[in-house]
Structure 1
């Protein structure tokens, strides 16, 4: 069997031969390939001429493979099967592994998890691994593909993509606002229990979020308060009438709509920190990371 050049007609003939050899019928092969029986016969005849060997013994109402035909069928069945699998999986080939993501706890619970099923539905072969933390990732020593930060966007040596802006406003239960005369009167905060997220962003102080809001609005705050290591815990405490928390717009829409939280005064301010996706620069072109970034942009 001489080795032909793998031109288009030869490759087409090889595929046609494999189907015919599998079906042992030119007629059934023609049906599968949406060709006429004579077109299948012609392709295989041309292939035989290109190879310089007979592949089929043609008998009335019967086909038999020659020894060369059997050898070629075995090789083609193995390799065409591999090619078919590769072509089927090509689009998601690099999306079938692991995606390790670090996310701030409250962002994960309040924003990401309610939307995450659509990402998993879109990339079912991708194994998504979520870890929550407020601290920054050390990409040199930790095996995260990317991370979402609530911060200022200045992360030296990393690829940074801004995801969305944030804003802040005090929130509490309706009953607490009524009891403390808060509606329309931010000065009454002096007599309230302030609920602090003690780690609103990396390296932040326990009072930084409240102090920033107060400075922007010229409001004096009491020095006492209750601190939590997660923003969602402060918000849950506010729902239960314990005090007043700083609510981020990305987290509180459902609670405001349901009435579990209220904004006693409309003094919302843009947050000094916003949401960014960060990764090592060489990971910015990773299909897994790029798919995650694109999805985050779609679901906002």
Structure 2
């Protein structure tokens, strides 16, 4: 398929084609574009003539994409998405507008939220939008500027900047540790209720974090336990004497300082995963993303 020149008519036709291909209806495309149905049909015919290929199979009550139409739709959708992102970046060079960030739930609640006012005060013209989730973002189809991941830092087609490492060790209430004789007695974990974060990182199993720690300590773990879909819920359950949770040091500083949690088996292990700021390669230089990443780095240093 050859495209001799990207004239204004061709670009307009490509936009019209994308809407029609999404809707699979010239009538619905016309409503979205505030055009008549005949105008949409005329734009598509002109585009087909310019490209020298048929894009739609027109049937009495429905449209079908030809193979060429399917290929063109995929390319146009991807590149128009890049154009939208770039225009938004150009409009926000002065650190105004929207910043959409995806963050793991417990990291958001225990680490980011207590510090977020500093960032908002520093960049008052930015509208900060925080969404929490444990799974990875699809940057091609979702409108996130960047995300914080707890992982290995290698994500195909994406740019990642390491923020900080993590250390893990078991935590519980003082009363629970006393009753179960846990102080420096790791073998007694076998008789305890383990509290699991069911999704400590993307695609992890519910036992993965506990097993990683136990294997490095030579400790046998019980089969039974409770699972939670957020680490902070497991930690709250530990505070209330339900059992022993695997604590991350970045999450539990306040609970340890106020004795709401204790570390009866004081054998910390360096987590195999770290925290990263992740974004699409083409927006690495976005002033909004750079400001956010630099601010987090300075907060960690402090």
Q: 1:225 is matched with which residue?
A: 225
The number of residues matched between the two structures is 210
Q: 1:196 is matched with which residue?
A: 196
Q: How big is each residue's C-alpha offset from its partner over 1:157-192, in whole Å with a ceiling of 9 and x where there is no partner? A: 101100000010000000000000000100000000
More off after superposition, 93-102 vs 240-249: 93-102
* Contact 2:93-2:288 within 8 A present in 1 as well: no
Q: 1:165 is matched with which residue?
A: 165
Q: 2:95 is matched with which residue?
A: 95
Residue 250 of structure 2 corresponds to residue 255 of structure 1: no
Which one has a bigger Cα radius of gyration?
1
Q: 2:235 is matched with which residue?
A: 235
Root-mean-square deviation (CA), in Å? Answer: 1.1
Aligned-partner Cα distance in 2 for 1:260–1:185 = 20
Q: Shift in Å at residue 93 of structure 1?
A: 4.6
Q: Shift in Å at residue 156 of structure 1?
A: 1.3
Q: Shift in Å at residue 94 of structure 1?
A: 3.1
Q: 1:295 is matched with which residue?
A: 295
* Contact 2:197-2:206 within 8 A present in 1 as well: yes
* Contact 2:105-2:134 within 8 A present in 1 as well: yes
Q: 1:284 is matched with which residue?
A: 284
Structure 1: which 5+ runs fail to align? 1-91
Structure 2: which 5+ runs fail to align? 1-91
Q: Shift in Å at residue 272 of structure 1?
A: 1.0
Aligned-partner Cα distance in 2 for 1:263–1:279 = 36
> Equivalent residue of 2:266, what SS?
coil
Matches within 5 A, 1:71-220: 93-220=93-220
> Equivalent residue of 1:94, what SS?
coil
Aligned-partner Cα distance in 2 for 1:177–1:146 = 40
* Contact 2:93-2:287 within 8 A present in 1 as well: no
What TM-score, normalized by structure 2, do the two folds share? 0.69
Q: 2:267 is matched with which residue?
A: 267
* Contact 2:93-2:286 within 8 A present in 1 as well: no
Aligned-partner Cα distance in 2 for 1:123–1:211 = 42
> Equivalent residue of 1:255, what SS?
helix
Matches within 5 A, 1:48-67: none
> Equivalent residue of 2:272, what SS?
coil
Aligned-partner Cα distance in 2 for 1:223–1:274 = 27
Q: Shift in Å at residue 282 of structure 1?
A: 1.0
Q: 1:23 is matched with which residue?
A: none
Q: 2:68 is matched with which residue?
A: none
Q: Shift in Å at residue 241 of structure 1?
A: 0.3
